[in-house]
Chain A
Amino acid sequence: MNTIAAISTPDAAGGIAMIRISGEDAIRISDEIFTAANHVKVTEMRGYTCAYGTVSDGQEALDDVVLTVFRAPHSYTGEDTVEITCHGGIYLTKRILMTVYLHGAEPAAPGEFTKRAFLNGKLTLSQAESVMDLIQADSASALRVAQYAKEGRLGREMRGISDELVDLMSALAYWLDDAEECPPELERTTLTAKLNSIDTKLREMSARYQDGLVLRNGIRTVLLGKPNAGKSSVMNWLCGTNRSIVTDIAGTTRDVITEQVKIGEFTLLLSDTAGLRETDNTIESIGISQAYQALDQADLVLYVADANVGMTDEDTELLEKCAGHHTVLIWNKTDLSDAAPPEMPIPVVQIAAIYEKSTEQLAAVLKDLFGQSAGASGAIPLNERQNLLILRASEAVRSGIEAAESGNELDMMYADLEMAASYLREIEGEDVTDDVIDGVFSKFCVGK
């Protein structure tokens, strides 16, 4: 049986979340993404033991987790199983799950853990009917989601992309199959150009999935500003607690602190960062590099400036680094100064963070910035399974481009396209082979 994975805790923000991986590759996959604090390899861990460590997607550490190993047959499913318990943010948990998928696990089908438990003799025969009920109920709700996606904008866009791919495959299938009518030679450059355009669309779609995540799972937000501009006070204003240490010594905040807050209809995933400035202090410079990293992945920047000091060249310079992100200027410490904020092409919120109680002003600004993407344009409600399939399809398309460019035969390239098509087919639930054959007959005058 292939290896499956899913988030086993409810799909909501909570204290902790758990990802379950089951199947013959569960141990191998976990080993690839997890580094234990005590450097023990997952492959060497015995059943019913756990380890503390870090999960990474190959580029960066995602979270500190506790990983528990169950060896077959002593697990819920009866297969090798690994459970990863992480911090409960939805966004974070899904990124870990996506990493597990990209290392070879498949999304678990409805009721699949329980089905496997049954098939492996972990549940009694009398439970078979309840397993079937479970599969049916789960798949009915999955079907409703899929149906929604198919009928909605996602469906139309997917159909558009997969039609393009099927057209290309029909042309290629015709060329490969039909010798008698001597079809014109297919130009490799035309083929790869079309494939590149398909790949770009797939990747755009996946990127907009990130936008979709923003809406469902929270807007990744960083607080930036010069040291002592009042970022921590702003953080506390937003959180309504004394989460960050507020002092008047520049450079107090050295860690990136993450917090989840509700502002109007939006959820912000807040990182308070160390003040951005060049520093000789080693500990502080680590905090600063983390701040830049958080900036990279941010959906929203709240730039805090001190009204009492006014906009400095350093502020302008830092704001330039925020280009490409939605940015809001927090004109802070209005209790100490009447100075008006500078003319800027970004929204401004004027507050005295340490006294302010209401977040309505900011909520209105957020609605202007993100309200649109909740509507007709922008974000697509992909789930992580669909996103995974799109990423795999894109990978297969790129492999096809590579095959064509390296001078490999086009029947090899066709195999890549078949693979891409089969991933897209999984989203749509339709057989592409028949579409390709129909395409050959409807678009080309087949000889004999």
Chain B
Amino acid sequence: MEQLAEFDVAVIGAGHAGIEAAIASARRGCKTALFTISLDQIGNMPCNPSIGGSAKGHLVREIDALGGVMGEAGDACCIQMRMLNLSKGVSVHSPRAQEDRSAYHLYMKKKCEDTPNLFIIQNEVVDICMDENNCVTGIRTRHGGLFFCKAAVICSGTFLNGMVYIGKTGEQSGPDSCLPARYLSENLAKHKIELRRFKTGTPCRVHRRSIDFTKLQPQYGDPDPQPFSFLAERGSVRNDAVCYIANTNPQTHQIIRENLGESPLYSGVIHGVGPRYCPSIEDKVTRFSERERHQIFVEPTGLHTDEMYLQGFSTSLPEFVQIKMMRSVAGFEQIEIMRPAYAIEYDCINPNCLLHTLAFRGFHGLYAAGQFNGTSGYEEAAAQGLIAGINASAYALGEEELSLSRKSSYIGTLIDDLVTKGTQDPYRMMTARSEYRLSLRHSNADARLTGIGRQYRLISDERWAQFTAKTQRIEHAIETLKNTTVQPDAVAEYLEQIGTTPLKQGLKLDALLRRPQVQLHDITKILSLDLDLRGEEAAEVSCRIKYEQYIARQDQQNAHFEHLEHIRLPKEIDYLAVHGLSSEAVEKLGNVRPENLAHAARISGISPADISILMTYLKAGGYHD
């Protein structure tokens, strides 16, 4: 076997996780290799041609704030942008973009090519080499190549032992007819890494000319779209594509029910666990039989193609059923399928074998991110990729690694959920998963994370200067509102107009603004108050004030855990030797090996008494003060 090259970090897979991992690692000064089975699949979107969406949009903004690339690419290749949930509270506003899928791939490929220190290599990785102490020493490729590296990041997506099913025919394949990764699994098993099977599915792609759009309801982008990146100007993204909504009907459902026997999911051919949030159309029809229709979103996959994606219509029924059920939908009578829908089954891990840094417990220099960790979605993958890339490079450089708290971000929440609880089905981010929802807004992702990105050398001087200036303007405006008193007369007319009670005496502006009906831009106009705010800053100031008391209460509610967060559990702790722990606690703590007491407290089956005993034990051992 021949050594071909030497790297600091090797990233296996160039999907959304791998790209972030590789670029972050290279930018932080590590010589980084990015391995992919096909150069033509870098940053591919084998499922929906979109980035963002509820809670996922938050993740993209956080990735951007930390210095990742998904936000910038999403803006550059956007063809339609919308802010979702605008009619609801600000904490659930979330940006979503329709993407030009080919443009996105090319953008990401060029981005990687342009990154100094980053080397893209088309080759199938089959093994990770380790020494007797489980330290990563290199990786081996399919044709006997050996590459030395100090750290490796596995981002294998759905490629690992991929099996694609259309109807009952299954064949070894990666997504979009790519070659699957056929050898890495067995070698991971040799390293005692336990694998399991998950599955996911994607709907068919159809030809634009075969749809009667007059029967569908159009959906346009926002008039003044908000981009993902904090560096982009409002309105600067392309936004002219139109999406459409179609609906299934009882006849469609009847066809599906009659043909359930043809589905590999219902006939037991596929054993992998599918995502609960993204049920196939046969699941929807079976589980929600009372519903007379389900929506189908018809989305363009790019500017230079007529392929249309049908969101909400994923299925693994055979092609003849697919065409039959689709033609029962109003507007789809003449539908032409270009790529049939399929289900894909793949190997992944239960992520509770990872640390918060996304390193494997019991190994040195081995990291994992993305669907391989049991998640689903490009955004969830990219978020983990960024953290894994930062940490693999930190490990290679001998620097301190990063683990984000639940309070800091959805990324921190995502990773904590994964490593603490593991996951039973492909994990999708939702805002309901965070106990800090009110403080984790897409709009303040920069305030929460840019400082951390800066600390890890992913934020340029220019961007840092821009960020600090913005922060100062916001803080100053809030200060001004808290210190300015408004007299009853000045706003009497306005308050009457919006139907809220008049003031009896002078009131500080922040208190006035806390009234649900009162708007910041109205107040500044009436009082001729110049707060010197730009772009989104006024909205941010307004919601920080309006939500202040609620956020304070939420923080207070969660304060107990934060205190425990700071009490670290040493790696070498022998739980059997901790006097007084229940046997269930000894077993669970031994398996998960939590990093701190808050982490331990979140493990199911660990009681407050166990935490008390651990606290006493640590103190007795002199581990913390």
Residues on A close to B: CB < 8 A?
Answer: 1-2, 109-112, 115, 118-119, 125, 128-129, 131-133, 135-136, 138-139, 142-143, 173, 175-182, 406-412, 414-415, 418-419, 422, 429, 431, 433-434, 436-437, 440-441, 445-448
6 contacts between A and B (CB under 8 A): A128-B617, A139-B609, A180-B311, A406-B516, A410-B88, A419-B554
Contact B279–A179 (Cβ < 8 Å): no
Q: Enumerate chain A residues within 8 angstroms of B294, measured Cβ to Cβ.
A: 445
Given the contacts A182-B295, A436-B432, A441-B276, A132 and B516 also touching, CB distance less than 8 Å: no
Contact B516–A437 (Cβ < 8 Å): no
Residues 405-431 (chain B) with a chain A CB within 8 angstroms: 421, 430-431
Q: Would you call B370 an interface residue if the criterion is a C-beta within 8 Å of the partner chain's C-beta atoms?
A: no
Q: Enumerate chain A residues within 8 angstroms of B557, measured Cβ to Cβ.
A: 418-419, 422
Residues 103-153 (chain B) with a chain A CB within 8 angstroms: none
Contact B616–A411 (Cβ < 8 Å): no
Given the contacts A132-B580, A410-B88, A411-B437, A446 and B279 also touching, CB distance less than 8 Å: yes
Contact B553–A415 (Cβ < 8 Å): yes
Contact B432–A131 (Cβ < 8 Å): no
Contact A412–B89 (Cβ < 8 Å): yes
Contact B554–A411 (Cβ < 8 Å): no
Contact B612–A415 (Cβ < 8 Å): no
Residue of B nearest to A418 (CB): B435
Contact A119–B291 (Cβ < 8 Å): no
Q: Enumerate chain A residues within 8 angstroms of B613, measured Cβ to Cβ.
A: 132, 135-136
Contact A176–B88 (Cβ < 8 Å): yes
Q: Enumerate chain A residues within 8 angstroms of B612, measured Cβ to Cβ.
A: 109-112, 115, 135, 139
- Cα A408 to Cα B543 in complex, Å, equals 12
Contact B88–A135 (Cβ < 8 Å): no
Across the interface, A415 reaches (CB within 8 A) one of B433, B437, B609, B620, namely: B437
Q: Would you call B480 an interface residue if the criterion is a C-beta within 8 Å of the partner chain's C-beta atoms?
A: no
Q: Which of B47-55, B258-266, B350-358 contacts A (4 or more CB under 8 A)?
A: B47-55
Contact B433–A412 (Cβ < 8 Å): no
Contact B312–A437 (Cβ < 8 Å): no
Name which of A131, A173, A407 has the most chain B CB atoms within 10 A of its CB.
Answer: A131
Given the contacts A415-B437, A448-B53, A448-B311, A128 and B616 also touching, CB distance less than 8 Å: yes
Q: Enumerate chain A residues within 8 angstroms of B516, measured Cβ to Cβ.
A: 406-409
Residues on B close to A: CB < 8 A?
Answer: 48, 53-55, 84-85, 88-92, 94, 96, 276-279, 284, 287-288, 291, 294-295, 297, 311-312, 421, 430-433, 435, 437-438, 516-517, 547, 550, 553-554, 557, 560, 563, 578-580, 604, 607-609, 612-613, 615-617, 619-620
Contact A173–B430 (Cβ < 8 Å): yes
Please give me the 10 A-B residue pairs with the lowest Cβ-Cβ distance, nearest first: A411-B89, A409-B89, A139-B609, A132-B580, A128-B620, A179-B84, A173-B432, A407-B516, A441-B276, A136-B580
Given the contacts A136-B609, A176-B85, A419-B557, A446 and B278 also touching, CB distance less than 8 Å: yes
Contact B608–A109 (Cβ < 8 Å): yes
Contact A179–B54 (Cβ < 8 Å): yes
Q: Enumerate chain A residues within 8 angstroms of B92, measured Cβ to Cβ.
A: 176-177, 411
Contact B53–A180 (Cβ < 8 Å): yes
B612 CB to nearest chain A CB (Å): 5
B30 CB to nearest chain A CB (Å): 35
- Cα A411 to Cα B55 in complex, Å, equals 14
Across the interface, B287 reaches (CB within 8 A) one of A1, A125, A445, namely: A445
Q: Enumerate chain B residues within 8 angstroms of A1, measured Cβ to Cβ.
A: 563
Contact B430–A177 (Cβ < 8 Å): yes
Name which of A118, A409, A418, A419 has the most chain B CB atoms within 10 A of its CB.
Answer: A409
Q: Enumerate chain B residues within 8 angstroms of A136, measured Cβ to Cβ.
A: 580, 609, 613
Residue of B nearest to A119 (CB): B619
- Cα A418 to Cα B40 in complex, Å, equals 46
Contact B433–A437 (Cβ < 8 Å): yes
Contact B609–A409 (Cβ < 8 Å): no
A424 CB to nearest chain B CB (Å): 13
Q: Enumerate chain A residues within 8 angstroms of B284, measured Cβ to Cβ.
A: 445
Contact B431–A132 (Cβ < 8 Å): no
Q: Enumerate chain B residues within 8 angstroms of A437, measured Cβ to Cβ.
A: 430, 432-433
Q: Enumerate chain B residues within 8 angstroms of A434, measured Cβ to Cβ.
A: 421
B447 CB to nearest chain A CB (Å): 18
Q: Enumerate chain B residues within 8 angstroms of A138, measured Cβ to Cβ.
A: 609
Q: Enumerate chain A residues within 8 angstroms of B438, measured Cβ to Cβ.
A: 411-412, 415
Given the contacts A182-B295, A445-B287, A448-B312, A433 and B433 also touching, CB distance less than 8 Å: yes
A95 CB to nearest chain B CB (Å): 26
- Cα A415 to Cα B294 in complex, Å, equals 31
Q: Enumerate chain B residues within 8 angstroms of A109, measured Cβ to Cβ.
A: 608-609, 612
A370 CB to nearest chain B CB (Å): 36
- Cα A19 to Cα B275 in complex, Å, equals 52
Contact A118–B619 (Cβ < 8 Å): yes
Contact A440–B430 (Cβ < 8 Å): yes
Q: Enumerate chain B residues within 8 angstroms of A441, measured Cβ to Cβ.
A: 276-277
- Cα A136 to Cα B611 in complex, Å, equals 11
Q: Enumerate chain B residues within 8 angstroms of A422, measured Cβ to Cβ.
A: 557
What 7 new A-B contacts, CB under 8 Å, besides A132-B613, A139-B609, A448-B277? Answer: A118-B616, A143-B609, A179-B94, A412-B547, A415-B550, A437-B432, A448-B312
A393 CB to nearest chain B CB (Å): 12
Q: Enumerate chain A residues within 8 angstroms of B607, measured Cβ to Cβ.
A: 139, 143, 429
Contact A411–B91 (Cβ < 8 Å): yes
B374 CB to nearest chain A CB (Å): 15
Q: Enumerate chain A residues within 8 angstroms of B609, measured Cβ to Cβ.
A: 109-110, 135-136, 138-139, 142-143
Q: Enumerate chain A residues within 8 angstroms of B431, measured Cβ to Cβ.
A: 173, 176-177
Q: Enumerate chain A residues within 8 angstroms of B579, measured Cβ to Cβ.
A: 129, 132-133
B585 CB to nearest chain A CB (Å): 11
Contact B295–A411 (Cβ < 8 Å): no
Residue of B nearest to A422 (CB): B557
Contact A412–B550 (Cβ < 8 Å): yes
Contact A446–B277 (Cβ < 8 Å): yes
- Cα A418 to Cα B438 in complex, Å, equals 12
Contact A411–B90 (Cβ < 8 Å): yes
Q: Enumerate chain B residues within 8 angstroms of A112, measured Cβ to Cβ.
A: 612
A42 CB to nearest chain B CB (Å): 24
Residue of B nearest to A444 (CB): B288
Q: Enumerate chain A residues within 8 angstroms of B580, measured Cβ to Cβ.
A: 129, 132-133, 135-136
Name which of A128, A132, A179, A419 has the most chain B CB atoms within 10 A of its CB.
Answer: A179
Across the interface, B297 reaches (CB within 8 A) one of A2, A180, A429, namely: A180
- Cα A184 to Cα B97 in complex, Å, equals 23
Contact B616–A132 (Cβ < 8 Å): yes
Residue of A nearest to B297 (CB): A180
